[in-house]
Homo-oligomer: A and B are copies of this chain.
Amino acid sequence: MTPYSAIPKMSRMTAEQAMHQALREEFQRDPDVMLMGEGVATKRRDLLDDFSAARVRNTPLAEAIIAGTAVGAAASGLRPVIDLLFAPFMTYAMDALVNSAGKLRYLSGGQFRFPLVAIGMTGGGWSVGGQHNHNLEAMFVHAPGLKVVMPAAPADFKGLLKAAIRDDNPVLFFADIGLLHEAGDVPEQDDFIVPIGRAAVRRVGDDVTLVAYAKTVNVCMQAAAQLEAEGIAAEVIDLRSLKPLDVDSVLNSVRKTGRLIIVHEASGLCGIAAELASLAATHAYASLRAPIIRLTGPDAPAAASWVLEQAAIPTVEAVAQASRDLVEFMPVSLSETNLCTPNHRSAGSQSCIY
Taking Cβ atoms with an 8 Å cutoff, the residues of A that contact B are 88, 91-92, 94-95, 98-99, 102-103, 106-107, 129-131, 134, 136, 138-139, 141-145, 243-245, 247, 266-275, 277-286, 288, 290-294, 298-301, 303-304, 331, 336-337, 339, 341, 353-354
Contacts and interface: CB of A to CB of B under 8 A. Distances in A.
14 contacts: A88-B98, A91-B95, A99-B134, A107-B130, A107-B301, A136-B143, A138-B270, A270-B272, A274-B277, A274-B278, A282-B336, A282-B341, A285-B336, A286-B331
A283 B130 contact: no
Contacts of A288: 281, 285
A283 B342 CA distance: 11
A90 to B, nearest CB: 8
Given A98-B134, A285-B290, 8 more contacts: A91-B94, A99-B131, A107-B130, A107-B131, A274-B278, A275-B278, A281-B292, A285-B288
B91 A99 contact: yes
The 6 closest A-B pairs by CB, nearest first: A277-B278, A285-B291, A91-B94, A281-B281, A103-B301, A274-B274
Contacts of A298: 144
Contacts of A337: 283
Contacts of A292: 278, 281-282, 285
Contacts of A106: 130, 300-301, 303
Contacts of A277: 274, 277-278, 281-282
Nearest to A247: B354
A269 B141 contact: yes
Contacts of A331: 286
A12 B274 CA distance: 39
A284 B304 CA distance: 36
